[in-house]
Amino acid sequence: MTRHNILLIAAATCAWSASAFAHATLETKEAAIGGSYKAIVKIGHGCEGTATLKMRVQIPEGVISVKPMPKAGWTVETTTGAYAKPYKYYRRDLSEGVKEIVWTGKLLDEHYDEFAFASYLTDSLVAGTTIYFPVTQECEKGAHRWVEIPAAGQDAHALKSPAPGLRLTAAAAKSAATPSYKIGALVLDAPWIRATPGGAKVAGGYVRISNTGAEADRLVGGTFPLAAAVEVHEMGMTDGVMKMRSLPNGLEIKPSASVDLKPGGYHLMFQQLKSALKEGQTIKGTLVFEKAGTVEVEYRVLPIGSAGAGGSHSHH
């Protein structure tokens, strides 16, 4: 390859990189339907050399439960409206939600920043297609409107001001071995425990609890045949050190909300184990709630160090 050709390729690569960075883009450009999605909109410059003062992001139909992430030095507002139809969301029907997010602050032209929000991609969306989040960037002088959506068969790269696009993939297959339990207004999904090495006297238990009712309830404990006691604990930072503490009053499950008991956060602590817990076992136990009462569940024992049973959503 000649030096001339190398220079041409390098110049083309630089031009493409600069062009890509010049647009408003999504950091994660692909996600599965039927699950949570954290959108991060990247902004690399202002308008005509002036600072960005306002960022508007429009939310497409089928993207629900949108919650913007606050930014230091910026105010955030949302505009809500009715969805085209109700959507099932954790055993509830949502008929309205956030349609636009507006951040107001100041981002100098020579600086770069990101604007994030959590959301849920409903299964009404079609795998293999792309949805778009139109972005308007208002500056001290002028504005950029990244709002163009390609027509069928058109290459988005051919557009002057393309809206950030998200490619949709098929929903992850749900395992038949992730049971769900219901007691009163509470729904418990996929209880599991980490396997333990021989001689271990404690083990961590995890579950997702959703409250579909109008009143709060509280997880206060439970029973387990291979443990002397089941306590509710929390992991958290104290003076820069990760520490675990017992929650003697239990864990509140607020109405119309969900709580994930998971490694590194809220969890069950099985005390004074009578024997080791082995990967692949299924063991029945109970969970006790202040109002709903006692429910029998079956825990799956997952590998030592496992991160979770899968299928849960973490943007609550």
Q: pLDDT (tens digit, 9 = 90+) per residue, 42-57? A: 999 999 999 999 999 9
| 156 pLDDT above the threshold of 60 | yes
Please indicate whether residue 243 or residue 238 has the higher confidence score (pLDDT).
Answer: 243
Exposed / middle / buried, residue 268 (Cβ in 10 Å: 0-12, 13-18, 19+): buried
- Residue 147 near residue 136 (C-beta atoms within 8 A): yes
**Cα–Cα distance measured from residue 154 to residue 132, given in angstroms and rounded to the nearest whole number:** 14
| Percentage of residues of the chain with pLDDT beyond 90 | 71
| 312 pLDDT above the threshold of 50 | no
**Cα–Cα distance measured from residue 130 to residue 121, given in angstroms and rounded to the nearest whole number:** 12
- Residue 139 near residue 52 (C-beta atoms within 8 A): yes
- The pLDDT assigned to 59 comes to 98
Question: Given pLDDT bands bounded at 50, 70 and 90, which one contains residue 237?
Answer: low
Cα-Cα end-to-end distance for the chain: 54
- The pLDDT assigned to 174 comes to 52
What residue ranges define each of the domains in the chain, with the CATH number in brackets?
23-169 (2.60.40.2230), 180-302 (2.60.40.1890)
Note the pTM of the prediction, 2 decimals. Answer: 0.55
Q: pLDDT (tens digit, 9 = 90+) per residue, 117-146? A: 999 999 999 999 999 999 999 999 999 999
- Residue 67 near residue 117 (C-beta atoms within 8 A): yes
Average pLDDT (110-121) is 95
- The pLDDT assigned to 304 comes to 85
- The pLDDT assigned to 6 comes to 41
Q: What is the mean pLDDT of the chain?
A: 87
- Residue 156 near residue 162 (C-beta atoms within 8 A): yes
- The pLDDT assigned to 107 comes to 96
Q: pLDDT (tens digit, 9 = 90+) per residue, 165-208? A: 999 998 865 554 568 899 999 999 999 999 998 889 999 999 99
- Residue 175 near residue 35 (C-beta atoms within 8 A): no
Q: pLDDT (tens digit, 9 = 90+) per residue, 42-101? A: 999 999 999 999 999 999 999 999 999 999 999 999 999 999 999 988 768 899 999 999
